[in-house]
Chains A and B, each alone.
Chain A
């Protein structure tokens, strides 16, 4: 297994965090959060990858064929479901923020301080 997927993971994670920190638009910031989460998909699939292995369906192949790890794929799927819920909620908040504050710049939301 090569180190390449993990370099990609670190890159996606860093870019996502950088985006959240520097963002001046809530929707952009929420997308950056999705980018951070995307790094976990790549990490999970990278962890379970095996060179030369097949997809883990043992319907029409011999049982001892090398296959990639199906557990991480299930985890990634669960992760996607979690992300869908969180993102939907956050985008709903962003819509309301636009209605109430008249802006989507997180630095312009100034109701809570101190």
Chain B
């Protein structure tokens, strides 16, 4: 791009501002002293400023890609010399989502923590910079660096309550598994650099497009994807996620579930569509290999979610379920599949963030996050109960929350590609997850049904949690209830936006057009109408989607009632109570031992690499 537009100034600022904010609050720490509110205000303002800048950028990309070359190193004769930010609607939208959630989390933290260290603010802002940089970059090594910045900030935030046992174990598991994934990704980047001599994604894509994919390209693709899939908590790389969510401070969980996991999947889509897509030839077998992992993830996540009694772990497994569904959407390789995944991600982020914040309020007020102990205890938290119940229904795909559109479009696109069972997977797993969360809503906030039987281990876990928050207050502070309420309302607003489908689909088509991406990045020529690789389907709001979504939500409610009243039902009386069956095998599987997790990663890499090798043969 030639000349300097206001956009050129804004793009680098989206990462410079949070990094400066992080450095600033650390450096000026002595000046802040005990004026903690000043510190909170600086962090909120910084995050909100970044969100504002990104919204301006997102609106500005409506007409196409914006490319910014750092230090003015523009490509020379089609060869990329510098590092670029290449922004389109979808990655700008994801970055906006990250900045909004950080803002909401920081507002929530205002009253949530009794005392808070400066490094909390610094780490949150560094985390934000990592996420925004990861979204916007157009250089694959740069992608790895942002990935690691995001990772290191996240590991440190997980261990925020460093004086306790759970956070240390959770952070160790998180850090070691994700580091192994990141180093394998780096190996893949090194291999593809060895083949193409380039680090710019567009240039790598151009270099491998003209040849039949050989072993080296397939190995590089598998290795690069491994780190991203680990971040995206795809089975069998998912074990760290539940441990990290169980122990991280609640406002941090909002970011982990809301965007960090989804960024891993964005990475998969970006790497595929900007680098490998044309070279690998958009084969049906790639869809088969990736969506198999997605389906497995969705099922495992939903089953583990349903049997959980620890609220943060329950929500964490629900995130794993959704990550699987998003991966299916990406794996379909169709514009509508990616559109569905994008809308699903946004709806899920808003709803899941609200759920986590409500759990934070429960922890703040009632001193526990164990469903067993909390049964009927949340009745006086009226507004929190309403917000939580609404968010639970949204998570179960109830229209008009945005999630039902995403689920419907992914299913519809699966039908067109001859995979009608994708709809079945989406509906059944969504019912399980929706039932688990609705069960919590009914049991904890309204005292419906019978209390679950005691589990001694849970008391021990729950007692650790209380030190995270301020002492119980007489009423919920406004700064804690407003963010989740606004997020739930936003999920409805997004679901009701006119022209949502066609607008997002236009962004998806642009992201998927590698030729247009190459032309914009390497030659600066703008393509007004990107070409869709697969057939474009109609991304409208159909009656089928609405009925399916409402049916899924109704099914969730029925299953939730069954699991609350199971003791009084004739056939189920002798059956397993949710959370009591198969305790031994499940504890051995989700063992908390990082050695086991890395073993699963190696097995997963072997399966994944094998599946890709067969697919691309």
Contact flag A82-B145 (CB < 8 Å), given A71-B199, A109-B592: yes
A112 and B190 contact, CB distance less than 8 A: no
Q: Which residues of B contact A43 (CB under 8 A)?
A: 187, 190-191
B170 and A23 contact, CB distance less than 8 A: no
Give which listed residue, A17, A47, A82, A112, contacts B592 with CB less than 8 A: A112
A112 and B243 contact, CB distance less than 8 A: yes
Complex Cα distance, B209 from A3, in Å, reads 25
A22 and B179 contact, CB distance less than 8 A: no
Give which listed residue, A72, A85, A96, A111, contacts B193 with CB less than 8 A: A72
Q: Mark A61-80, 1 if CB is under 8 A from B, else 0.
A: 00000000001100100110
A21 and B598 contact, CB distance less than 8 A: yes
B587 and A37 contact, CB distance less than 8 A: no
Mostly helix, strand, loop or mixed at chain B's interface?
A: helix
Q: Which residues of B contact A93 (CB under 8 A)?
A: 159, 168, 171-172, 175
Interface hits, A43-68 → B, CB 8 Å: 43-44, 47
Q: Residue B148 at the A interface, CB < 8 A?
A: yes
Q: Which residues of A contact B162 (CB under 8 A)?
A: 96
Q: Which residue of B lies closest to A105 (CB)?
A: B593
Determine which residue in A20, A23, A30, A107 has the highest number of CB atoms from chain B within 10 A of its CB, and name it: A20
A100 and B168 contact, CB distance less than 8 A: yes
Interface hits, A73-114 → B, CB 8 Å: 75, 78-79, 82, 85-86, 89-90, 93-94, 96-97, 100-101, 106-107, 109-114
Complex Cα distance, B119 from A106, in Å, reads 27
Complex Cα distance, B394 from A70, in Å, reads 52
User: How many residues of A are counted as interface, with CB atoms below 8 angstroms from the partner's CB atoms?
Assistant: 42
Give which listed residue, A21, A44, A101, contacts B595 with CB less than 8 A: A21
Q: Residue B141 at the A interface, CB < 8 A?
A: yes
Q: Residue B448 at the A interface, CB < 8 A?
A: no
Contact flag A20-B583 (CB < 8 Å), given A43-B187, A113-B591: no
Q: Mark A1-44, 1 if CB is under 8 A from B, else 0.
A: 00000000100010001001111001001100100110110011
Complex Cα distance, B143 from A75, in Å, reads 12
B175 and A17 contact, CB distance less than 8 A: no
Determine which residue in A21, A93, A114 has the highest number of CB atoms from chain B within 10 A of its CB, and name it: A114
User: How many residues of B are counted as interface, with CB atoms below 8 angstroms from the partner's CB atoms?
Assistant: 50
For this complex, 29 residue pairs linking A to B, each with C-beta atoms less than 8 Å apart, are: A20-B598, A21-B599, A29-B595, A30-B176, A33-B176, A33-B180, A40-B186, A44-B190, A47-B190, A72-B190, A78-B145, A85-B148, A86-B148, A86-B151, A89-B155, A93-B171, A97-B172, A100-B163, A100-B164, A101-B165, A101-B168, A101-B169, A106-B593, A106-B595, A109-B165, A111-B461, A112-B243, A113-B587, A113-B592
Residues of B within 8 A of A (CB): 141, 145, 148, 151-152, 155-156, 159, 162-166, 168-173, 175-176, 179-180, 183, 186-187, 190-191, 193-194, 199, 242-243, 246-247, 313, 461, 464, 583, 586-587, 590-595, 598-599, 602
Known: A86-B175, A96-B159, A110-B592. 10 other contacts (CB 8 A): A36-B179, A36-B180, A40-B190, A43-B187, A43-B191, A71-B193, A93-B168, A93-B175, A112-B170, A114-B587
Residues of A within 8 A of B (CB): 9, 13, 17, 20-23, 26, 29-30, 33, 36-37, 39-40, 43-44, 47, 71-72, 75, 78-79, 82, 85-86, 89-90, 93-94, 96-97, 100-101, 106-107, 109-114
- In the A-B complex, the 7 residue pairs with the smallest Cβ-Cβ separation, listed nearest first, are A47-B194, A112-B592, A111-B165, A111-B166, A109-B169, A113-B587, A43-B190
